[in-house]
Amino acid sequence: MSVPKFTVPALILLAASGCARTGEITEGGISAVRTACPTVAIPAGTGDVTLFDPATSREASAIDVVATITNIQSTCNDAGAQVVTDVKFDVLARRRDAGPARDVVLPYFLTVVRGGTNVEAKRVANVTLHFEAGQLRASAVGTATSSVSHAAATLPDEVRRRLTAKRKAGEESAATDPLSDPNVRRSVLSATFEALVGFQLTDDQLKYNATR
């Protein structure tokens, strides 16, 4: 079952150049390294969807189809001017009745979030689940792609210097977290992005997921 790909433009986080490897012990301490690739995840409450028949009922006996997003995998290429992240995931579904062959089309989204709260881009596509005649289960594969510019998330030189500056025990700077500076924290948040994948749910579906 093929699913259309879509592209999220012009956004992603950029690693500070010249940083140590993750967990590397340096003269100033242990370095934590940013990555040019976004964190890929499923937002809470959007990883599964329940369809009812009749649609207005919320009784367990009215559950028609339940589908879940699982096995998310991402491949990131940050070698060029654009950082391209391909996301792939499985959709597993079960229906109530093993009736005739049936297709169920479900919308899903990929959203790029900046600084943990700001939605910078969003695209919606569909995945089609095909239930064979007499079968209760179906599966499909969803895909999405984000292609973004390094320049959109480059940390300012001054912020990068403050974050990577060596600190010696006994000095005042050793006891001060650079992220305690509001300006530094804002700069880091501004250059921090996530690629979030989930089902495009209605308000009622979101409410059901939150309260069931």
- Please tell me the predicted confidence (pLDDT) of residue 148: 74
pLDDT reading at 105 higher than 90: yes
First to last CA, the chain: 31
Least confident window among 13-17, 27-31, 189-193, 199-203: 13-17
Contact (CB, 8 A) for 114 and 85: no
pLDDT reading at 22 higher than 60: no
**Residue 203, C-beta contacts closer than 8 angstroms, at least 6 positions apart:** none
Indicate the pTM of the whole model.
0.77
Contact (CB, 8 A) for 159 and 187: yes
pLDDT in tens, 115-165: 888 888 899 999 999 999 999 999 999 999 887 777 776 677 777 777 766
- Please tell me the predicted confidence (pLDDT) of residue 12: 33
Indicate the domain borders of the chain: 29-165+177-208
The pair of structure tokens assigned to 162 is 């403050």
Beta-strand pair 63-77/118-131? unpaired
